[in-house]
Amino acid sequence: MSKTIQSALISVYYKDGLEPLVRLLHQNGVLLYSTGGTQTFIEQLGIPVTAVEDITGYPSIFGGRVKTLHPVVFGGILYRRNLAEDVAQASRHDINPIDLVVVDLYPFEETVASGASDEDIIEKIDIGGISLIRAAAKNYEDVLIVSSRNQYADVVNLLTEKQGATDLEDRRRFAKEAFAMSSGYDRAIHNYFAGSTTDSSDFRQLPAQSLRYGENPHQQATFYGDLNALFDQLNGKELSYNNLVDVDACVSLIDEFTDTTFAIIKHTNACGVATAPTARETYLNALACDPVSAFGGVIITNAKVDLETAEELNKLFMEILIAPDFDPEAITLLSSKKNRILLKRKPVEFSPKMFKTLLNGVLEQDKDNQTETASQFKVVTEKAPSDSEQRALEFALKICKHTKSNTIVLANDGGPSHGQLLASGVGQTSRVDALKQAIEKARTFGFDLKGAVMASDAFFPFSDCVEIAAEAGITAVVQPGGSIRDKDSIDACNQRGMAMVTTGVRHFKH
């Protein structure tokens, strides 16, 4: 059942991203009601808006604790338009319909995380907002509820496409997301009073954002989480399911590095990683690893993107670029492609746990937060790696840890603060195949493997990988060790003058 929106109540804490929606509603002749700061925001846009207190007859009282809690407001949302008795009562009590409710909630979890006082935290328990959301969601047959700023762009597209109207399916979808958000909000409050913390095992408490589709167009998908806490999106379209999976892989990998680093990800695996003193040099070295796979990839750096680097980046078609900061001129240039997604990272602490649905249950495990350094390497060969080889082995191991098993990573070191991925063998059913794939790929892009190093995510049960690596010119190897046939690969290294170190830690990634 299609319904045209004729009136809307807008009362939000965060105003960013709101303007396009307000302007569209105004263009469609929608009567706007609002409160406090949101009312001022709309008035400053030069758009007429009616104060809620003008229709309730009551001002905002008790320090803002009571603004919208009134039968005129809730009656306008809750009365059933297809029920004659409700319509008659609305008319008798001068209750006008409200067809759209745009409300977000006080930032309770953010206030808790900030270390605020108990008094300040309690004041961030939203009463009116959560009640408006539940009322509008309950009456989704007649009312559209927008309960998060993450939904503004979606609503603008929806109302533009349908000329100011919504279908029952649309309203039910937004109601579902509203109830997911409200239940999560209440869970966070409960956890505060219970003195407990939350993690992603309580994912349904997080804000819910419907995605265009899942891994493939025939799959529905929802993201539970607050992307606004992670990134400021400076440009581009809405993130998709596959975008989010790649962004997660990017963030996990880049956080392994402290030197200036660029990583290029394709289907969650690194096709280019480099460290160097300057952002531009680092990016170009990362791109050189595999410029073919880099096309359409996701790029992340831990360095500020300046104009010089942006000019190089702008030559490549990429889906997403993630950085901790951008020069203004770089943003202007990179935003010239309207669909290119630019994300500015914010410092956020992630859950130490990972979850995966499996069979008729859920797997939980600790995240793989362990990364071995040269101080933990055990030299098992007659020859020890040089300082340069040790740096390259550390670099390769970081990438190996974040690459699909079975994997082999080939890398080199160009001096302090210099490292480059040469190639990797990704997700192969045998380690020999992974190594052969990596060698062939490195040679395809013109890399000389003489003096390169090799990292493996698991031990070598046979000497074959060492023999193949030696023939390619590789001089040092890092691997977990632990095979009953470790001596075979160690002997093979000794016979060929190679260095091998073991870590005692396996890094499978399935």
3-state secondary structure 19-51: HHHHHHHHHCCCEEEECHHHHHHHHHCCCCCEE
Name residue 119's amino acid. Answer: E
The b-or-e profile of 455-487 (16+ CB within 10 A means b, else e) is: bbbbbbeebbbbebbbebebbbbbbbbeeeebe
Name residue 266's amino acid. Answer: K
Specify burial of residue 506 (Cβ count, 10 A radius: 0-12, 13-18, 19+): middle
CA 112 distance to own-chain centroid:
22
Exactly one of 15, 70, 267, 337 is catalytic; name it.
267
| 217, containing H or E segment | none
- What pLDDT, on the 0 to 100 scale, is given for residue 86? 86
CA 292 distance to own-chain centroid:
25
pTM, two decimals, is 0.66
Exactly one of 70, 138, 237, 436 is catalytic; name it.
138
- What pLDDT, on the 0 to 100 scale, is given for residue 116? 86
Specify burial of residue 316 (Cβ count, 10 A radius: 0-12, 13-18, 19+): middle
Report which DSSP code applies to 200: G
In sequence order, the β-bridge partners of residue 235 are: 342
Tell me how far CA of residue 191 lies from CA of 79, 112, 197, in angstroms: 34, 11, 6
Contact between 79 and 97 (Cβ < 8 Å)? yes
Active site residue 337: no
- What pLDDT, on the 0 to 100 scale, is given for residue 106? 83
Distance from C-alpha of 268 to C-alpha of 132, rounded to nearest angstrom: 40
Mean pLDDT by 10 residues, the chain (510 residues): 91 90 94 91 94 81 76 89 88 91 86 85 86 93 91 92 92 91 82 66 69 92 88 93 96 96 96 96 97 96 97 96 97 95 91 85 89 94 96 96 96 89 95 96 95 95 95 96 93 97 94
Tokens of 119: 């008094």
Among 406, 399, 387, 404, residue whose Cα is nearest residue 476: 387
Beta strands in 267-335 (DSSP E): 269-275, 297-301, 318-323
Distance from C-alpha of 175 to C-alpha of 164, rounded to nearest angstrom: 18
Helix H segments across 45-167? 52-56, 71-78, 84-92, 108-113, 118-123, 128-138, 152-161
Report which DSSP code applies to 305: B
- What pLDDT, on the 0 to 100 scale, is given for residue 343? 97
Tokens of 117: 């006082």
Distance from C-alpha of 426 to C-alpha of 437, rounded to nearest angstrom: 8
Mutual angle of helices 152-161 and 19-27, in 10-degree steps: 20
- What pLDDT, on the 0 to 100 scale, is given for residue 375? 93
Among 395, 386, 390, residue whose Cα is nearest residue 422: 395
The b-or-e profile of 259-291 (16+ CB within 10 A means b, else e) is: bbbbbbbbebbbbbbbbbeebbbbbbbbbbbbe
Looking from the CA of 237 toward its CB, the CA atoms found within 13 Å total: 12
Strands 269-275 and 419-425, by their bridges, are antiparallel
Distance from C-alpha of 494 to C-alpha of 488, rounded to nearest angstrom: 10
* Cα dihedral 261, 262, 265, 271 in deg (nearest 10): -90
Backbone angles phi, psi at 482, to 5 degrees: 115, -5
Tokens of 60: 């905002």
In sequence order, the β-bridge partners of residue 479 are: 502
Active site residue 26: no
| 329, containing H or E segment | helix 328-334
Contact between 142 and 75 (Cβ < 8 Å)? no
In sequence order, the β-bridge partners of residue 262 are: 274, 301
Tell me how far CA of residue 36 lies from CA of 18, 48, 60, 79, 281, in angstroms: 15, 14, 8, 25, 50
Give the 3-state secondary structure of residue 291: helix
Distance from C-alpha of 219 to C-alpha of 207, rounded to nearest angstrom: 20
